[in-house]
């Protein structure tokens, strides 16, 4: 599959991308922003140093001016780009992927890059027809300013006992430091920097990766635990019982809090989220905006609609105050919401409804077969409300079914939810009965849902 995904560039270092890839990307981006500043940061992966150096070399040779942030969390990279008013930025990171991966997150202007932008870049990188120039290089330290910004944004939090699992990633020092400066009692777990991620996979959205965090929360009698991904833009929470809480259910606490402050506000959520999310937005007087899964899609919708808040089940939370997402900001916003409720996290989560929902069911399937399945579902359920935002999402009286074609692998991905276990089983039965090809696929073992790539 191509390294050019829907939202970023990603691949296995030394196999799918290398320093030459980074250099050619730098030349292509530098040609677009010749004579202008491009902010560059990187995560802690061993391959980041070589990729970042080659990227900056390419930018400079095309005449762009490089602002080198060093090794920083992705939210600090976004902060620096806003603070400096730079027209573009490139972050060297593979986010939540295992250490053998690396890649690039790009920003042109204030909006995230589009799939069309990425395909154009791919063509420009392949052709190699770039102007020659010599840009200027300078270093910029932003971590202190970034931490000061977070502390100023949440000046009066009550103390909470929080276990911080940085997963040896980019928030290893920043998260404990900021929380302590705000009066929180922090218990550290895997808060030493190591881009090989020796203690757990860097994707916190996979519950089995957070076993150590859950046990430490209970042992330390902490109120909650927070787990961050490799570059610090995703967060998943564990309650005081040591149970991992899905990101969409945690999102409900932020929804209630922000809509109490901004009545009638718009909230963006991804289409794989529980019914509970839209119900709680509407219950709180807000406007629910469903969007494709994926960081770039949620962020762009947030900005285009002037929404106050956004979230997706991967653990990204987006805020109008930032114009984007930030896992540590989300942590502090949640603590603020708990203070307003007067409840500890576990008891607050007990107020959030929970419906039976499946994980992603990933079935190997050639693209042609997957397309035929989607067409079959459209025909079979033509009398039901159907959302074609991303794949086929069929709305039933008591729940929904979603079928999507993966953009990274030859797979079809399914997800089901209903208000009762009986209704969930019935929806699955009806979908299988309506599409024999899908029924045959579902009769076979699904691939593991413990997936690191976005699809």
Give the chain's domains with CATH numbers: 9-141 (3.40.120.10), 142-354 (3.40.120.10), 361-442 (3.30.310.50)
Tell me what percent of the residues of the chain surpass a pLDDT of 90. 90
| Catalytic residue selected from 62, 95, 293, 314 | 95
* pLDDT tens-digit series, residues 3-36: 998 889 999 999 999 999 999 999 999 999 999 9
* pLDDT tens-digit series, residues 202-255: 999 999 999 999 999 999 999 999 999 999 999 999 999 999 999 999 999 999
Query: What is the average pLDDT across 344-368?
Result: 95
* pLDDT tens-digit series, residues 215-228: 999 999 999 999 99
- pLDDT for residue 387: 95
Q: What is the dihedral of CA 264, 269, 272, 276, to 10 degrees?
A: -30
Cα 229 from Cα 204, distance rounded (Å): 6
448 an active-site residue? Answer: no
316 an active-site residue? Answer: yes
Q: pLDDT tier at 445 (50, 70, 90 boundaries)?
A: confident
95 an active-site residue? Answer: yes
* pLDDT tens-digit series, residues 267-294: 999 999 999 999 999 999 999 999 999 8
Cα 199 from Cα 207, distance rounded (Å): 14
pLDDT at 163 over 50: yes
| Catalytic residue selected from 300, 316, 393, 415 | 316
Q: pLDDT tier at 111 (50, 70, 90 boundaries)?
A: confident
Q: pLDDT tier at 328 (50, 70, 90 boundaries)?
A: very high
Task: State the burial class of residue 50 (Cβ atoms within 10 Å of its Cβ: 0-12, 13-18, 19+).
Answer: middle
* pLDDT tens-digit series, residues 135-150: 999 999 999 999 999 9
Read off the tokens for 352. 């959030």
DSSP string, 376-441: HHHHHTTTS-EE-SSSEEEEETTEEEEEEE-SSSSEEEEEEEESSHHHHHHHHHHHHHH-HHHHHH
Q: How many residues does the chain have?
A: 455
Q: pLDDT tier at 447 (50, 70, 90 boundaries)?
A: low
pLDDT at 452 over 50: no
Give the chain's mean pLDDT: 95
Residues 6+ apart with CB under 8 A from 211: none
Check if the beta carbon of residue 428 is closer than 8 Å to that of residue 420: no
Backbone φ and ψ for 357, nearest 5 degrees, come out as: -145, 145
């Amino acid at each position: 599959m191509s390294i050019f995904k829907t939202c970023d560039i990603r691949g296995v270092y030394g196999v799918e991308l290398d320093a030459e890839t980074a250099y050619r990307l730098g030349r292509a981006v530098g040609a677009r922003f010749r004579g202008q500043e491009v902010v560059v940061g990187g995560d802690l992966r061993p391959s980041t140093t070589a990729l970042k150096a080659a990227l900056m070399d390419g930018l400079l040779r095309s005449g762009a001016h490089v602002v080198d942030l060093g090794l920083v969390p992705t939210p600090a990279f976004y902060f620096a780009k806003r603070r400096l008013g730079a027209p573009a930025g490139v972050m060297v990171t593979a986010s939540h992927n295992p250490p053998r991966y690396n890649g690039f997150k790009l920003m042109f202007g204030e909006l995230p890059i589009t799939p069309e932008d990425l395909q154009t870049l791919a063509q420009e990188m392949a052709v190699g027809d770039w102007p020659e120039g010599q840009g200027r290089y300078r270093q910029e330290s932003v971590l202190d300013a970034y931490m000061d910004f977070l502390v100023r944004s949440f000046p009066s939090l009550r103390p909470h006992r929080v276990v911080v699992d940085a997963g040896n990633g980019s928030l290893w020092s920043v998260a404990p430091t900021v929380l302590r400066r705000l009066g929180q009692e922090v218990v550290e777990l895997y808060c030493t920097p190591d881009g090989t991620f020796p203690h757990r996979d860097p994707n916190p959205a996979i519950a089995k990766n957070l076993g150590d965090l859950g046990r430490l929360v209970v042992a330390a009698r902490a109120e909650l635990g927070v787990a961050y991904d490799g570059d610090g833009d995703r967060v998943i929470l564990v309650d005081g019982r040591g149970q991992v809480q899905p990101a969409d259910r945690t999102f409900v606490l932020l929804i209630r809090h922000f809509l109490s402050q901004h009545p009638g506000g718009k909230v963006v959520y991804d289409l794989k989220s529980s019914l509970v999310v839209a119900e709680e937005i509407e219950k709180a007087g807000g406007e629910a905006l469903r969007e494709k899964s994926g960081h770039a899609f949620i962020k762009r919708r947030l900005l285009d609609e002037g929404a106050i808040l956004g979230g997706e089940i991967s653990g990204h939370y987006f805020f109008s105050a930032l114009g984007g997402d930030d896992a540590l900001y989300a942590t502090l916003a949640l603590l603020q919401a708990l203070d307003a409720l007067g409840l500890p996290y576990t008891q607050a989560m007990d107020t959030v409804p929970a419906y039976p929902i499946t994980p992603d069911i990933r079935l190997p399937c050639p693209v042609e077969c997957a397309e035929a399945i989607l067409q079959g579902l459209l025909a079979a359920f033509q009398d039901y409300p159907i959302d074609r935002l991303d794949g086929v999402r069929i709305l039933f009286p008591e729940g929904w079914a979603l079928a999507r074609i993966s953009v990274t692998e030859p797979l079809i991905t399914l997800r089901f939810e209903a208000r009762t276990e009986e209704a969930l089983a019935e929806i699955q039965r009806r979908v299988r009965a309506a599409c024999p090809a899908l029924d045959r696929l579902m009769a076979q073992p699904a691939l593991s849902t413990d997936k690191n790539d976005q699809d």
